[in-house]
Structure 1
Amino acid sequence: MSDDAPSTEPGSSETGTTAAEQREAVRERYAEIVTDSASCCDDEASCGSGTTDGELDDRSRSMGYSEEALESVAAGANLGLGCGNPTAIASLEAGDAVLDLGSGAGFDCFLAAREVGPDGRVIGVDMTPEMVETARENARENDASNVEFRLGEIEHLPVADGSVDVIISNCVVNLSPDKPQVFADAFRVLRPGGRLAISDVVLTARLPDPVRADPSSVAACVAGASSIPDLESMLIEAGFEAISIEPKADSGSFIREWDDERDLSEYVVSATIEARKPVR
């Protein structure tokens, strides 16, 4: 891991695309995933997506999901997207209020709902209407009465100030063209003492220019990745403390599948990102 990996902030200028172009590329890609069962990042297999239930489960296991977790959620919620298992690091407790940034079809929300129990609640926020619609259908299939899904951008969350205990997310923050605003709004909605526990990709080396300039590579969970020092600075600026960013060396096993032309594990690695809002 190199601490001097180049900064990618702000995303719009470094990637050569505007914030609006980045959001549209992401929204179109994920709408395609959920409506046509396309893969996450290209026409083959990226961001952990697959074409069969068995492939999805295999990739989910490689990201840290247990067999019990995979079997506990009804089919359709696990699209094989992501780069880790945020519920495994969130230390959720009964009664917690949980917020999932970029909740997709709801898989992590349903796992979190099992942890927080009937006295807890889970809110999923996603900016793709098709994803939100599918997630709501999946909530009915999973009889998840303590889960709700809201349409919105993670930079401007449709959530009240100081109303959640834990924020989770799975390979979504890298997609944002304004990551400092993501962390600032996450800080806003957390209660004092609330915590951030997310899985995402971090940059370890400068990406090739064709990758950095390609909007589809932003939607591919790659071109928008930030270095660890940049992420730490953003979290500190937002007001977080007890910051921990831990790369997962074994994530190369699935990141290598994200691109047929190059080994992306030479440039990005999955990591767990944790932080806490001060009590005062």
Structure 2
Amino acid sequence: MKTEQELKDSVKERYSKIAEQGKIENAASCCGATTPSNKVYNIMMDDYTGTDGYLEDADLGLGCGLPTQYAGIKKGDTVIDLGSGAGNDCFVARHETGAEGKVIGIDFTPTMINKARTNAEKLGFNNVEFREGDIDEMPVNDNSADVIVSNCVLNLVPNKQKVINEIFRVLKPGGHFSISDIVLVGKLPEALREDAEMYAGCVAGAIQKGDYLQHIKDAGFQNLILQKEKTITIPDDILEKYLSEQEIEEFKKGETGIFSITVYGEKPGTKKDKPKLIMSNLQDQGACCTPDSGCC
């Protein structure tokens, strides 16, 4: 079993390579980290192309949702994007905050930081900055952000509770987050769970959906909402790297599910204006999932 630091180093190495790949190559693999499938499968990503503020050069096809769409960002907000990559979600967030707001992207991969800064300079965005650092030890002061977003990143962090506690620390009282991530329902096959490549590919690092939501509650967040959920299907030619033909059939017939979820939560405290939230019709349950409903 790899240590937390070994897992981080593996992710950093792979995402440094991903920074030099194109979107099509990344979309053909599992979060960009694995050898491309022989067909182009958009395994995780949602389509940003119709989103205001979208910059194609900043979209590496690595996300699993559209957290900025659901985050209720307002003009003048300070927004932090965790695992900001080439800057895609930061630039979408900046469209919402306007020139009077501020957007901070945090990423621990120097190559990604350089790529994002280049994109920001091309756009002339002086209120968007990118900081190198771990999201479980954010280079940000306490009570700094109105909104935190993240797209398919927390599953890559070995200690989920630590990074969720950091989100709580950095948000202002009454601030909120909207995060898209990969979670599991049921036990992942051992070969997938232990492989570092699949860890960097967003799947093996995912934890149980119930545990994920419990970590958020344990950190002190309130008013949890499951804003969106979709099923993730890994194609056979990727599964074949880890499982036999029989194991693939058993995996597909089993109770294990891999899902992308977008979760909203608030830090206790008073905020002048409540965000106006966009909801999506969930695939497997109602449009709103709160702690009182039993699913969070």
Same-fold call, TM cutoff 0.5: yes
Q: 1:258 to 1:170 in 2, by over 3 A?
A: farther
Write the deviation string for residues 166-221 of structure 1: whole angstroms up to 9, x where unpaired.
Answer: 00000000000111000111100100000010100111121110111111111010
1:208-227 correspondence runs (5 A): 208-227=189-208
Structure 1: how far apart are the matches of 2:180 and 2:225? 12
Secondary structure, aligned partner of 2:20:
helix
Q: 1:40 to 1:68 in 2, by over 3 A?
A: closer
Deviation at residue 136 of structure 1 after TM alignment: 0.3
Structure 1: how far apart are the matches of 2:208 and 2:80? 24
Q: 1:36 to 1:79 in 2, by over 3 A?
A: closer
Match of 1:45 in 2: 29
Structure 2: gaps of 5 or more residues? 241-247, 271-296
Q: Verify: 1:230 aligned to 2:215, yes or no.
A: no
Deviation at residue 48 of structure 1 after TM alignment: 6.5
Q: Structure 2: which amino acid aligns with 1:239?
A: G
- Higher Cα Rg: structure 1 or 2? 2
The RMSD of aligned alpha carbons is: 2.9
Structure 1: gaps of 5 or more residues? 1-15
Greater helix fraction, Structure 1 or Structure 2: 1
- TM-score, normalised to structure 1, is 0.82
Match of 1:63 in 2: 46
1:200-279 correspondence runs (5 A): 200-245=181-226, 248-249=229-230, 251-252=231-232, 255-256=234-235, 259-261=238-240, 266-279=256-269
Q: 1:159 to 1:257 in 2, by over 3 A?
A: farther
Q: 1:95 aligns with which of 76, 83, 94?
A: 76
1:1-280 correspondence runs (5 A): 16-37=1-22, 39-40=25-26, 44-47=28-31, 59=42, 63-69=46-52, 72-245=53-226, 248-249=229-230, 251-252=231-232, 255-256=234-235, 259-261=238-240, 266-279=256-269
Structure 2: how far apart are the matches of 1:96 and 1:60? 32
Write the deviation string for residues 64-91 of structure 1: whole angstroms up to 9, x where unpaired.
Answer: 535244xx44442010111000111101
Secondary structure, aligned partner of 1:81:
coil
Structure 1: how far apart are the matches of 2:237 and 2:101? 36
Identical aligned pairs, as a percentage? Answer: 41
* Aligned residue-pair number: 255
Deviation at residue 245 of structure 1 after TM alignment: 3.2
